Amino acid sequence: MHTAIRIDEGTFTMTISTPTSTTRTIDLPNGLSVSLQEFGENTDGTGGLMLHGGAGPRSMAGFAAAMSQHAYVVVPTHPGFEGTPRPESVDSIADLASAYLDLIDALGLTSVVVAGSSVGGWIAAEMGLRDNHGRITALMLLGSTGIKPEPPLEIVNPADLGPAKTGELAFFKPELRPDFAALGDEQKAAMAANQRTLAVYAGDPFCHDPKLRGRLHRVTVPVLVLAGEQDGIVPLEYGRALADSFPRATFRAIPEAGHFPHIEQPGTVLEAIGDFVDTEVRSEG
């Protein structure tokens, strides 16, 4: 069965069986409300939390659907994306990391794999640092940001390039690069709003915390870092450096993939995840 996945800039197709999904909003203890999409059912307190980047929650939908063949999966929408409200007090990656740890508790999850794409990977890493209840069993980071890029490496800011050039750098396969000329005014306005929200969270310096690398040695769970070999947004060598920052990380480069390896090469990504789970996660019991 084919599932259509729309990322703000366009529509893509992955071949997977489509599970049942539901959407709802959960109120967290600090007064923040988080909208989320759930795939499958929480039957035993285990599951996956999938965190999107600047492309919005649709960029994780197909990946989440595929992963839900094996577990209950949740995809929250970062407050401020997709027209959702963002309180003025929620304006940093640290705020999101703390909120999603509260979300894990609210969902009754006791064993969680957290996966993040782009800035979502940064959120996942910050969650790993703050997980004082021991809920997180592993992290999976895809084209992730977070640590300071050492020159000559740099993280490209889409706001500096415009959507067309960003699409060229983000996708290896030309057929997946969005046709922005075909977008309506409403779609363009939604994209612009998402980018403004990203700018709030990603901050200045863009998409990294200069002090994060020095703290990541405290993340003791297994970490999988996946990076597209042709990623023009976050360089491949940046992914290697990110993996080296964790004490228990596995790095894997994904050929013929850009900034969204889980969209361009879903089979390869799922295979890498399967190997990681078998060798690193299950060995922990």
d(CA 276, CA 65): 19
Beta bridge partners of 23: 37
- Give the span between the Cα atoms of 105 and 194, in whole angstroms: 27
> What is the model's pLDDT at position 234?
98
Torsion sign (Cα): 222, 227, 233, 237:
positive
pLDDT band at 17 (very low <50, low <70, confident <90, very high): very low
Q: Is the distance from CB of 225 to CB of 243 less than 8 angstroms?
A: yes
DSSP 127: H
Q: What is the CA radius of gyration of the chain?
A: 17
Query: How many helices (H) and strands (E) would you count in the chain?
Result: 9, 10
Query: Does the pLDDT at position 285 exceed 60?
Result: no
pLDDT in tens, 257-278: 999 999 999 999 999 999 999 9
Bridge partners (DSSP) listed for residue 13: 4
pLDDT, greater one: 93 or 9: 93
Q: Position of tokens 């300071």?
A: 148
The domains of the chain, with CATH numbers, are 2-284 (3.40.50.1820)
In the chain, the amino acid numbered 4 is A
Average pLDDT for the chain: 91
Q: Return the closest-CA partner of residue 177 out of 227, 233, 94, 128.
A: 233
Alpha helices in 39-184 (DSSP H): 61-67, 93-106, 119-130, 158-161, 163-170
**Over the stretch 137-182, which tens digit does the pLDDT of each residue have?**
999 999 999 999 999 999 999 989 888 899 999 999 999 988 888 8
Residue 259 DSSP label? S
Whether the model clears a pTM of 0.85, i.e. scores above it, the answer is yes
Question: Is residue 207 scored above 90 in pLDDT?
Answer: yes
Note the residue count of the chain: 285
| Cβ-Cβ contacts under 8 Å for 148 (sequence gap 6 or more) | 205, 208, 209, 210, 212, 213
Q: Other CB atoms closer than 10 Å to residue 187's CB: what's the count?
A: 15
Residues 6+ apart with CB under 8 A from 88: none
Average pLDDT over residues 219-248: 98
- Across the range 225-249, mean pLDDT stands at 98
Question: What distance in Å separates the CA atoms of residue 203 and residue 274, rounded to the nearest whole number?
Answer: 34
